[in-house]
């Protein structure tokens, strides 16, 4: 049982993870580490890009902040928007018939669904969609990109950012953003924001309830690629431990949930999930 009778260990053999999951119902909580092999940096991992994320209050309270954010995000989308699922995403999609009840993801890149996973709760939203802060209208990001290209023709000459220029939330390094022209909602003329949860913004209650609905039936919660630094993810680990259920953490480096874990694997996500897929589907 977690939180006592089994101490979390680093570098445990994947066979132990396989033995814990085989024949049981389990749910995945995924973080940015799952997507690093798709070329999307994380905030806190070994290959992370140090950056201060946009705060919700700053964004909604300042047109200047909106201009800065959208200039960077417009350029960053050229890489984020073309990212493709990696072996880890594909392994999880293949494991649905083998006890995987669903995925609660902190990622906004949509790669779990693109890989074929069906039961996914995107806790922090979907960066491929845009929402109007004034009327609530949702529209595809691709349509907005086309509009921004017409409004800001000079940025059309900027190349897609490399890893060192890309921010974890899809922004890119753009120094000359002060004259960036914002697009407004085609329905009401209001302010546009990516349909993701910014730092300082609350996750919508129905989405939290949907996540708990995936976690509750699970015998095991498997955390993959998350440092559990923010409470939106850590609360599910604490919830499982309080109920006496097992928690597995697969992540390079320490997490806030290590002391609560039944098993801790200090390992890469894609490699571990691929090994797990092979073992469970062949077993």
Per-chain mean pLDDT for the chain: 88
Task: Note if 124 is an active site residue.
Answer: yes
- List domains and CATH numbers for the chain: 14-282 (3.40.50.1220)
Which tens digit of pLDDT belongs to each residue from 114-147? 999 999 999 999 999 999 999 999 999 999 999 9
Cα–Cα distance, 235 to 226 (Å, whole number): 13
| Residue 106 CA from chain centroid, whole number | 4
Q: Is 200 annotated as belonging to a binding site?
A: no
Rounded to two decimals, the pTM is 0.88
Region of poorest pLDDT, from 12-16, 147-151, 265-269: 12-16
In this prediction, residue 277 carries a pLDDT of 96
Do 264 and 12 contact (CB within 8 A), yes or no? yes
What are the residues whose beta carbons fall under 8 Å from the beta carbon of 92, sequence distance 6 or more? 28, 30, 100, 103, 112, 115, 117, 273, 277
Is 146 labeled as ligand-binding?
Answer: no
Give the position of tokens 């329905």. Answer: 187
Residue 88, annotated ligand binder?
no
Q: Is residue 228 within 8 Å of residue 201, measured between CB atoms? A: no
pLDDT of residue 137: 97
Instruction: Say if residue 268 carries a ligand binding annotation.
Output: no
Residue 126, number of CB atoms within 10 A of its CB? 18
In sequence order, which ranges of the chain are alpha helices (DSSP H)?
A: 14-21, 56-61, 63-80, 87-94, 111-115, 141-151, 205-215, 231-242, 269-282
Active-site position among 112, 124, 178, 239:
124
The answer on whether 23 is annotated among ligand-binding residues is no
Q: How far apart are the first and last CA of the chain?
A: 24
Between CA 63 and CA 73 the distance in angstroms is 15
State both tokens at 143: 């349509």
Give phi and psi for 70, each to the nearest 5: -70, -30
Residue with tokens 């300082």: 200
Q: Which DSSP letter does residue 206 get?
A: H
Q: Is the pLDDT of residue 5 over 70?
A: no
Question: Of the ranges 75-89, 134-148, 156-170, which one carries the lowest mean pLDDT score?
Answer: 156-170
- Burial class from Cβ neighbours inside 10 Å (0-12, 13-18, 19+) for residue 114 reads middle
Please check the confidence at residue 8 and state whether its pLDDT lies above 50: no
What string of DSSP letters covers 188-202? T---EEEEE--BT-P
């Amino acid at each position: 049982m977690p939180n006592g009778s089994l101490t979390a260990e680093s570098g445990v053999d994947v066979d132990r993870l396989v033995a814990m999951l085989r024949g049981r119902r389990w749910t995945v909580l995924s973080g940015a580490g799952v997507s690093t092999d798709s070329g999307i940096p994380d905030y806190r991992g070994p290959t992370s890009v140090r950056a201060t994320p946009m705060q919700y209050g700053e964004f909604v309270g300042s047109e200047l902040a909106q201009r800065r954010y959208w200039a960077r995000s417009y350029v960053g989308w050229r890489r984020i928007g073309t990212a493709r699922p990696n072996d880890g995403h594909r392994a999880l999609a293949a494991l649905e018939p083998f006890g995987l009840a669903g995925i609660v993801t902190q990622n906004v890149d949509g790669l779990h669904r693109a890989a074929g996973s069906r039961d996914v709760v995107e806790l922090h939203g979907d960066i491929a969609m845009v929402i109007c802060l004034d009327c609530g209208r949702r529209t595809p990001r691709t349509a907005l990109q086309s509009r921004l290209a017409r409004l800001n023709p000079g940025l059309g000459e900027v190349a897609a950012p490399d890893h060192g220029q890309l921010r974890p939330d899809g922004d890119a390094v753009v120094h000359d953003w002060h004259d960036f022209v914002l697009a407004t909602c085609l329905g009401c003329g209001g302010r546009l924001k990516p349909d993701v949860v910014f730092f300082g913004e609350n996750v919508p209650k129905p989405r939290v309830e949907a996540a708990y609905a995936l976690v509750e039936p699970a015998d095991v919660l498997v955390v993959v690629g998350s440092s559990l630094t923010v409470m939106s993810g850590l609360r599910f680990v604490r919830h499982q431990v309080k109920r006496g259920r097992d928690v597995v953490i697969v992540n390079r480096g320490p997490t806030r949930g290590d002391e609560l874990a039944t098993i801790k694997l200090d390992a890469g996500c894609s490699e571990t999930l691929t090994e797990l897929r092979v073992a469970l589907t062949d077993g």
